[in-house]
Structure 1
Amino acid sequence: MSSTILQGPATAAPSHHATTPPGQRRFRNQAPRHAQGWRKTLAILWRFAFNKPANTVPRQAIPVQALSRAALLAAPDTSLWRLGHSTMLLKIDGGFWLTDPVFSLRASPLQFLGPKRFHAPPISIEELPPIRGVILSHDHYDHLDKAAVLALAAKTECFIAPLGVGEILRGWGLPAGKLQELDWWHSTRVGGLQLHATPAQHFSGRGLRDGNRTLWCSWVLEHADFKLFFSGDSGYFPGFKAIGERHGPFDLSLVETGAYNEDWPDIHMHPEQSLQAHIDLGARVMMPMHNGTFDLSLHAWDEPFERISALALAQDLTLTTPQMGERVDIKAPPAVQAWWRS
């Protein structure tokens, strides 16, 4: 594997104080987040604990297409499989890539408490073929799964992450030689794939005292055969337009569409905003993600699919909503199929 970091000047406000030592720096968004205050925070926690709708979790098993190593090895290049939440498996130049791999039962530091999966992953980590690279968007538990990272470490060539996340991975025992950390608007090349770290509107932290000590980002994956955008987590912000102008147009946008609420408007997008982000990016087809696997908000579990489907239809925009484990051709994704209604 050959990889090169290509650093370019940022066109937006820097994501951190460059002169601050890594152990002390705090990252920031281009625009400040709205402060909730302790009263509003307590009110949100009360709603989650005592006033949550019953339909935030599916009443029956959702459909999952099981995968095997043989099927993955036989699949053509430019294949993509959604494994759940924001975990995507891609096949590029005969090698495999994972985004935000989460395979644990719960998106939580505790496996007996916290958001529980609606479905098992379509394939186990043990069954996966060797992985060329793992792409991480930020350090939250529903995107950075320690057990999955440790299980993947031996079979993965490289981990590519935002600034600061590498320190977490090194603390878990991953060799420094396998890690690359990028700031916004910086790039790296691995074989025929160029990866650009691009801005997002979010935050980070895995505990009570490490807030915003690591960076969050979206990613542009650029190959001779396609161009793909992966949003990670983000509220809606002008950065999508800037990314589209700098790196677009895209064959496919993978845009978060779930875990939204009016009480946290600047860290997750409502479906209307997700679709606008897709438009800003100049993408041909949109795949909504960050839904269908964990209960992380107060809306019905299938509401993101229904709302984004209706919005795309009304605006005559192309949407793809594959089942978990279903193969998608990045250059020719299948049309919407309302599997969640069954």
Structure 2
Amino acid sequence: MSDSPISARAAQAGKFRNSEIEYRNPPSKLFEMIRAYMRAERAAPVPEQPLPLRRIPAAELADTAGPATVYRLGHSSVLMRLDGQYLLTDPVFSERASPLQWMGPKRFHPLPFELEALPQIATVVLSHDHYDHLDKDSILALDHKVERYVAPLKVGNHLRRWGVAVDKIIELDWWQSVSVGSLTFTATPAQHFSGRGLTDRDKTLWAGWAIESRDARIFFSGDSGYFSGFREIGERLGPFDLTLIETGAYNALWSEIHMLPEQSVQAHIDLRGAVMLPIHNSTFDLALHDWYEPLERAAAAAARQGVHLVTPMIGAPLQVGAAVETRAWWRDLMGPARAQLAPDR
């Protein structure tokens, strides 16, 4: 198979573009970001104690007969059991979210399972090619268990270079869908960018994903700034039983391509979601906020907006569509900062 097709949005110099903004990092903005990092004073950039984590028993993973269930594995990696098969989003299982494993953001917590215990994965869903979402070592370690990969346009080029079989890769443009058995995957617009080096900026597409099974509709945001596309996705493909929404690694300086927590909650509302699970947090230090701030701000915004927010600990099963309540586990690790907060919800 030749390289994947390219959409009309990439007509100029073979680069993909956002629908509402042109995201750039001029020298003045880069200098402002560097200055912000140098001046940042954070109380808790990383947890001082181990995060609570539930080990997922191999026998539990071997059972595919249960209801629609999701497990947070860390950052944007989520394991889903839908219609008796397993799906995995943006698997990043390496120690660091970096092209180099001796430097870069280090994991806060181990994986909640042994890789060998993972069952067959029917579909790996990829949102874009940044290192904290597309990890070569994880792809190669999992590939013998994976039946297919569903990715935005051109992301498959990375997989093919790494030796993934051509016939296992499906690439879609925004609003394109593919049905595999009882599951339907639709690539949805997102407001972000792509690239893994100095010369490949925006040469692959970025996307969110609407995933529909017999019993559940789930939205996986990938990375995105807040934009009107969420409302259109909700109108065309919603409502959703569960939204997995990026909530972390944000800053006002780059809010165009990473939502603030309050915007993440609004995106969930726009999507017509029933239950929101904040992802993209609690695993790597990728911004200037304290490690627990994304969950705390999302919980506060959800309470104000009347949104049903769930925050399961890493490895805990969450049944889609059930009346589930979770606790604010991160507050147990906040130390003195917790005294300034309202009582647990």
Q: Which TM-score applies when normalising by structure 1?
A: 0.92
Give the aligned partner of residue 219 of structure 2. Answer: 229
2:176 to 173, 186, 189: 186
Cα distance in 1 between the residues matched to 2:221 and 2:251: 18
Asked if residue 25 in structure 1 is aligned to residue 19 in structure 2, the reply is: no
Aligned residue for 2:303, secondary structure, equals: helix
- Kept in 2: contact 1:322–1:334 (CA 8 A): no
User: Which letter does structure 2 place at the counterpart of 1:304?
Assistant: P
Give the aligned partner of residue 10 of structure 2. Answer: 16
**How far did 1:99 drift?**
0.3
Aligned residue for 2:116, secondary structure, equals: coil
**How far did 1:125 drift?**
2.2
113-122 or 25-34, which deviates more:
25-34
- Kept in 1: contact 2:225–2:256 (CA 8 A): yes
**How far did 1:95 drift?**
1.3
2:149 to 159, 183, 202: 159
- Deviations along 1:177-219, one digit per CA (max 9) or x if unpaired, are 1000000000011111000000000000000110000000000
Asked if residue 58 in structure 1 is aligned to residue 47 in structure 2, the reply is: yes
Q: Size of the alignment, in residue pairs?
A: 325
- Deviations along 1:151-202, one digit per CA (max 9) or x if unpaired, are 1111100011000010110000001010000000000111110000000000
**How far did 1:46 drift?**
4.2
1:264 to 235, 251, 254: 254
Cα RMSD of the aligned pairs, angstroms, is: 1.5
Give the aligned partner of residue 176 of structure 1. Answer: 166
**How far did 1:73 drift?**
2.0
Aligned residue for 2:60, secondary structure, equals: helix
Asked if residue 146 in structure 1 is aligned to residue 136 in structure 2, the reply is: yes
Q: Which TM-score applies when normalising by structure 2?
A: 0.91
User: Which letter does structure 1 place at the counterpart of 2:178?
Assistant: T
- Kept in 1: contact 2:40–2:288 (CA 8 A): no
Give the aligned partner of residue 3 of structure 1. Answer: none
- Deviations along 1:226-252, one digit per CA (max 9) or x if unpaired, are 111000000000100010010011101
Taking the TM superposition and a 5 Å limit, the aligned residue runs for 1:40-79 are: 40-48=29-37, 51-74=40-63, 76-79=66-69
- Decide whether aligned partners of structure 1 residues 83 and 263 sit closer, same or farther in structure 2, where only a CA change above 3 A counts: same
User: Which letter does structure 2 place at the counterpart of 1:60?
Assistant: Q
Give the aligned partner of residue 238 of structure 1. Answer: 228
User: Which letter does structure 2 place at the counterpart of 1:29?
Assistant: N
Give the aligned partner of residue 341 of structure 2. Answer: none
Stretches of 4+ moved more than 4 A in 1?
none
Asked if residue 197 in structure 1 is aligned to residue 191 in structure 2, the reply is: no
Cα distance in 1 between the residues matched to 2:145 and 2:23: 41
**How far did 1:52 drift?**
4.9
Give the aligned partner of residue 76 of structure 2. Answer: 86
- Kept in 1: contact 2:83–2:215 (CA 8 A): no
- Decide whether aligned partners of structure 1 residues 185 and 33 sit closer, same or farther in structure 2, where only a CA change above 3 A counts: same
User: Which letter does structure 1 place at the counterpart of 2:132?
Assistant: D
Cα distance in 1 between the residues matched to 2:249 and 2:50: 20
- Kept in 2: contact 1:253–1:283 (CA 8 A): yes
Q: Which runs of 5+ in 1 are unaligned?
A: 1-12
- Decide whether aligned partners of structure 1 residues 263 and 156 sit closer, same or farther in structure 2, where only a CA change above 3 A counts: same
**How far did 1:77 drift?**
3.0
1:96 to 86, 109, 113: 86
- Kept in 1: contact 2:208–2:223 (CA 8 A): yes
- Decide whether aligned partners of structure 1 residues 266 and 340 sit closer, same or farther in structure 2, where only a CA change above 3 A counts: same
- Kept in 1: contact 2:190–2:206 (CA 8 A): yes
Cα distance in 2 between the residues matched to 1:174 and 1:283: 34
Aligned residue for 1:15, secondary structure, equals: helix
Cα distance in 2 between the residues matched to 1:15 and 1:137: 17
Cα distance in 2 between the residues matched to 1:124 and 1:147: 15
User: Which letter does structure 2 place at the counterpart of 1:25?
Assistant: G
Cα distance in 2 between the residues matched to 1:158 and 1:118: 29
Cα distance in 2 between the residues matched to 1:186 and 1:34: 24
**How far did 1:127 drift?**
1.7
Q: Percent identity?
A: 51
User: Which letter does structure 2 place at the counterpart of 1:27?
Assistant: F
135-144 or 55-64, which deviates more:
55-64
Give the aligned partner of residue 331 of structure 2. Answer: 341
User: Which letter does structure 1 place at the counterpart of 2:48?
Assistant: R
Aligned residue for 2:61, secondary structure, equals: helix
Asked if residue 118 in structure 1 is aligned to residue 112 in structure 2, the reply is: no
- Kept in 1: contact 2:184–2:213 (CA 8 A): yes
- Decide whether aligned partners of structure 1 residues 34 and 212 sit closer, same or farther in structure 2, where only a CA change above 3 A counts: closer
306-315 or 246-255, which deviates more:
306-315
User: Which letter does structure 2 place at the counterpart of 1:56?
Assistant: P
Give the aligned partner of residue 309 of structure 2. Answer: 319
User: Which letter does structure 2 place at the counterpart of 1:125?
Assistant: L
- Deviations along 1:87-143, one digit per CA (max 9) or x if unpaired, are 000112221110000000000000011011000111132220111110000000000
